[in-house]
Amino acid sequence: MSEAASAIGPELVEAIRKAGGRATLGDLIQATARPAAEIREAILQALSLVGGHVAVDDNGELIYSVERTRAVPADVVSGWDRFWRGAYKVFKAAFIASLTVALVGYFIIYLVLLVALLVASIAVAAQGGDCDCDCGDCGDCGDCGGCDACCACGDSCVPNDCGDSCFACVTCGSDKAKAKRQELRDAQADRRAKKRQKKAVLKAGRGARRRVALTKVRERFGGGKPQHLGFSLVQDEVAEEPPKLQAVYRYIFGPPEAPADPRARERNILAFAKAHRGRVTASDAVTLTGLPIDQADAVLLQVASRYDGDVDVTEDGVIVYTFDRLLTSAAEDDDVLGWIGETKGGEVRVAELAQRLQIPAAAALARLQHLSALVGGRVEARGGQTVFAFPADARARIDEVSERNEALRDYTFVWDRLETSPAIVGVPAGKRGWIVGFNILNLVLSTLMSLMYLAGEELLEIGGEQWLMGYLPALFSWGVFLIPLTRSVAQTLRDRGRRTRNARRVLLLAVFHALEEDDDRVTTEELAGVLRIGADEHKVRRRLEVMLGDMARELEGSIDEEQGVTEAGGFTWTFRRVFEELHAVERERLSVDLDALALTEVVYDTAEPM
């Protein structure tokens, strides 16, 4: 976004507000006297900064609105969260530094004291004496004084008078013209049939993948409580033993957290857009973020404003965000295969690809080997050179493999990211003994010495002896066990939220799976079948009904009053907006001409001499 475009953003927002909170492109041109192209370039960013949105009327006219602003949910921690996390980090650093001294240093000190006391006891025993008191309860021993050691993510064609569906009619009379039109209609019908076939294949693939996803979720997270639709929470386990110097820290404060990526959400949406021909709707954003559809639309508007996106309206009046810039890439597999098939007859040498992409021969060889393995190419040796031959349908195979192979996806749906309960202790179960042993000894000895000091006794008779030898090491030793215990209690409370969020994500998967069908209605019984909830699981079904009501409000759905209550006592829900967006955007994706967006031959390179 240029600086000029950023500068006129406030002016556009003010013009929209003066127009009553809603304005068309024509309104903005008239109010600001700025060119249409300049307004189009700046309007998305301007709306995203104030939480505005885009609407469309029955005629397909875009309406820019700020009458109902929306806050874009933050994808990073708040200021207070950052403050408390920073304070907690300082506490952990100070505690672990002191604990290192307490755990190791005091162990040595206490060991020396025990040896000294043992030697002293042996010496006293060797000398004899008249002290014969019972020190069992460390009471009054008279002259002994020795109790100290006693105790450890169609078509716009309108027929004209000639019966022509998409092509302008110039003449309706001649046989040649009629034959030409018939040829065009046949070609168009063929393209439509191919689109329908591809759409059916894509739909079947999505349905199969979502069924697999549901099965995997059930297998891994099944066995939970009714309020979470029968889904449990998986406990993370630590498998790798940390270095000795880090083991105590991880035992107390758990395994290290992965650093947060402040652009993870945007990166995920962009990867989805690139994999889906640059066409994304608010419903797609819901599957990627898990947000209510209004907030997901706000996020998508923000992403479009930041990453050179645009807004388009389908024939059905559905708003689609377009990212054509993402489809132009210098190193796409699809582009490389297209170049090989169209200009090289399906065969290419390593040196030719290296020159085409301006990469080393080794990198070109690796790229061709990767493509050959993906689409079933073959390798031949000709005249001392390696030639890779690719089938004619190589590009179609790339699409098919990408759709089928989940490992090739650069994006994840929200149900792919079900939460788990983090491990409390960052050391494997069988590798904690030495930490526990050290600390138990320190804990017992420091506690006994603290009790001795509380009773008024002293051992070394030096200033601050009570804190140095008793109270401080006791506090640290108790902290080694109490801090993980406190974290465990806090995590138990947070796990309730994790279970609820996971159940909602799985339900979202089930709803979107059901909306792949030919209508926008979803019944409780249908979703219960998808989620494998038995007819006798009444508590789970009641919880499902409640969660469906919440989800309907988030996705602008409603109860279908015409259908009424089903025979099983549940409701029929309609998700009109989601249904329309899912199916409209699929038609838009099939109509994208990738060849028109691909890179062409390089005509000038600054690395080459003129």
> Predicted confidence band at 170 (pLDDT cuts at 50, 70, 90)?
very low
Is-contact 490 496, C-beta < 8 A?
A: no
Q: What are phi and psi of 554, to 5 degrees?
A: -75, -30
The per-residue pLDDT for range 40-64, each reduced to its tens digit, is 888 888 888 888 888 887 777 888 8
Quick one: tokens of 474?
Answer: 């006791």
Q: According to the model, what pLDDT value does residue 143 have? A: 45
pTM given for the model: 0.69
Q: According to the model, what pLDDT value does residue 385 have? A: 80
- pLDDT tops 80 at residue 184: no
Range(s) for CATH 1.10.10.10 in the chain?
A: 1-69, 333-412
Q: According to the model, what pLDDT value does residue 79 have? A: 66
The per-residue pLDDT for range 125-140, each reduced to its tens digit, is 666 544 444 444 444 4
Coil, helix or strand at residue 382: strand
- pLDDT tops 50 at residue 538: yes
Within 13 Å, how many C-alpha atoms sit on residue 476's CB side?
A: 30
Q: According to the model, what pLDDT value does residue 66 have? A: 85
- pLDDT tops 50 at residue 146: no
Coil, helix or strand at residue 377: coil
Average of per-residue pLDDT values in the chain? 78
The per-residue pLDDT for range 83-103, each reduced to its tens digit, is 777 777 777 777 767 666 666
Quick one: tokens of 423?
Answer: 């491990």
DSSP 8-class letter at 535 = T
Looking at residues 538-553, what average pLDDT do you find? Answer: 90
Q: According to the model, what pLDDT value does residue 562 have? A: 81
Give every CB contact of residue 438 below 8 A, 6+ residues apart in sequence: 103, 104, 107
Is-contact 350 365, C-beta < 8 A?
A: yes
Q: Which helix (H) or strand (E) holds 209?
A: helix 175-221
The Cα diameter of the chain in Å comes to 137
- pLDDT tops 80 at residue 396: no
> Predicted confidence band at 590 (pLDDT cuts at 50, 70, 90)?
confident
> Predicted confidence band at 26 (pLDDT cuts at 50, 70, 90)?
confident
Second CATH level (architecture) for the domain 333-412: Orthogonal Bundle (1.10)
Looking at residues 194-207, what average pLDDT do you find? Answer: 67
> Predicted confidence band at 163 (pLDDT cuts at 50, 70, 90)?
very low
Looking at residues 294-298, what average pLDDT do you find? Answer: 93
Second CATH level (architecture) for the domain 1-69: Orthogonal Bundle (1.10)
Provide, rounded to the nearest whole percent, the portion of the chain with pLDDT above 90.
18
End-to-end CA distance of the chain: 32
- pLDDT tops 70 at residue 160: no
Beta strands in 458-600 (DSSP E): 521-523, 558-559, 572-574
Coil, helix or strand at residue 201: helix
Q: How far apart are CA 465 and CA 473, in angstroms?
A: 12
Coil, helix or strand at residue 311: strand
Residues β-bridged to residue 68: none
The per-residue pLDDT for range 561-588, each reduced to its tens digit, is 887 777 777 788 999 999 999 999 998 9
> Predicted confidence band at 4 (pLDDT cuts at 50, 70, 90)?
low
- pLDDT tops 70 at residue 522: yes
> Predicted confidence band at 164 (pLDDT cuts at 50, 70, 90)?
very low
- pLDDT tops 90 at residue 486: yes
**Better pLDDT: 518 or 348:** 348
- pLDDT tops 60 at residue 465: yes
Q: Which of 512, 591, 584 is nearest to 56 (CA)?
A: 584
* Residue 356 neighbours by CB distance under 10 Å: 17
Q: According to the model, what pLDDT value does residue 174 have? A: 55
Provide, rounded to the nearest whole percent, the portion of the chain with pLDDT above 70.
75
Name, of 59-68, 172-181, 317-326, the range with top average pLDDT: 317-326
